[in-house]
Amino acid sequence: MKKLIAAGVALSALVLALALHQVDPNPPVGLKSTPPSDGSQRIIKAARSRNLATDAVEAARPVSAMLFAKVEAETDSDRRNEALERAAKSISDAELPAQLDALASETSPGAAEMSLLLVRRWAESDPAAASKWISRLGESPQSRAMVKQVAVAWAGADLTAAASWLDTLPEGEGKQIATIGLAYEAARTEPLTALDLAGVLPPTRERDDLLVHAVSQWAGVDDSAAATWAMKVPDLSLRQRLVASVAIALAEQDAVAAVRLAVNGLAAGEEQDRAAVSIVQRWAQQSPQTAASWVAQFPDIPSRDAAVQNLFSIWAAQDSEAAENWRRKL
């Protein structure tokens, strides 16, 4: 009976060891160590695969949870941003996909902010991979914000490749947002490309703001061509904004030409007044006396007071006595 009980205990130990795939190298006397059957091996491999997958997810989740604990606890906006930056930097490039997968199930504001930071970093090193990951998310405010981050980062590294990627995006709000982000980045070095990109967008305030920015950048390179293009825009309201933008940019190089464009190319009204004040600000840096002569000819409108105040402030920093004498004579 004792031998039978001992054999039963030994057999139980062997079964347990086989289930764990850890066969005792020194089996009890009288029992031979045999390898697991094919069926047992398949069960063990499946269990191991499940454990590895679970371990990978759990390895990502605690890191995110730990990072958010500090971020979410911050009430000061500056310290919160610093905490987000530190948290993002603590994640290696190799961990980015797993961390973003883990963050995708989070709903806190901190998770959304962290995701944008990580996507932007991923896009700076591998924009194609980052964009492919985002495409799995479907259309949402968060995915649109991520696509914009990819567009900006990719355009900064390779504008041609970024533009080609843009063509592959499905039509919709996400593509429009990506186009605007890419165009703003393009405007720094290739304003004409930015204008072409803006030209395919539907007419919105965001598109018009982009056009104004791009034509201003173009004016810094070729003011004559930019002014000619702006003057041909059929939409009157938009044309006024574009011409004013060119005139203000031109004032950095040739204030007299800028004044001429503002006077002849803009109708009397808000845009002309705004352009006049901006031109005075730039003109005063170069020649306050000449700018003062022009300001003195302004009609008695609100923009005249603004132009006088701006001119006086700049002139006084250079020659307070001359500036004060000029103001007394007005």
Render 226-295 in DSSP notation, one character per residue: HHHHHHT-S-HHHHHHHHHHHHHHHTTT-HHHHHHHHHHHS-TTHHHHHHHHHHHHHHHHH-HHHHHHHH
> Same domain for 230 and 305?
yes
Cβ pair 123, 131 in contact under 8 A: yes
Question: 110 near 87, Cβ under 8 Å?
Answer: no
| Domain membership flag for residue 290 | yes
Contact between residue 145 and residue 175 where contact means Cβ atoms under 8 Å apart: no
Amino acid identity of 173? E
Pair 222, 214: CB distance under 8 Å: no
Q: Which domain holds residue 292?
A: 220-330
Domain assignment of residue 137, yes or no: no
Q: Check whether residue 194 and residue 250 sit in a common domain.
A: no
Residue 17 pLDDT more than 50? Answer: no
Angle, to 10 degrees, between the axis of helix 205-219 and the axis of helix 223-231? 150
Query: How many domains are there within the chain?
Result: 2
Q: Which of 188, 245, 238 is nearest to 216 (CA)?
A: 245
Question: 227 and 326: one domain?
Answer: yes
| Residue 253 maps to a domain | yes
> What pLDDT, in 10s, does the model give residues 284-321?
888 888 888 888 877 776 677 888 888 889 999 988 98
pLDDT digit string, tens, across residues 40-64: 455 445 445 444 444 444 444 445 5
Judge if 242 and 313 occupy the same domain: yes
- pLDDT by residue (tens digit) across 106-149? 777 888 888 999 999 999 999 999 999 999 888 888 999 999 99
**Residues across the chain:** 330
Domain presence at residue 87 = no
Give the sign of the dihedral formed by CA 101, CA 107, CA 110, CA 115.
positive
| Residue 267 sits in the same domain as residue 237 | yes
Over residues 156-212, the pLDDT tens digits come to 999 999 999 999 999 999 999 999 999 999 999 999 999 999 999 999 999 999 999
pLDDT digits (tens, 9 = 90+) for 202-225: 999 999 999 999 999 999 999 999
**Within 13 A of 40's CA, how many CA atoms are on the CB side?**
13
325: in domain: yes
Q: Residue 169: count other Cβ atoms within 10 Å of its Cβ.
A: 16
Q: Does one domain contain both 226 and 330?
A: yes
For 217-257, write each residue's pLDDT tens digit: 999 999 999 999 999 999 999 999 999 999 999 998 898 89
Same domain, 182 and 226: no
60 occurs within a structural domain: no
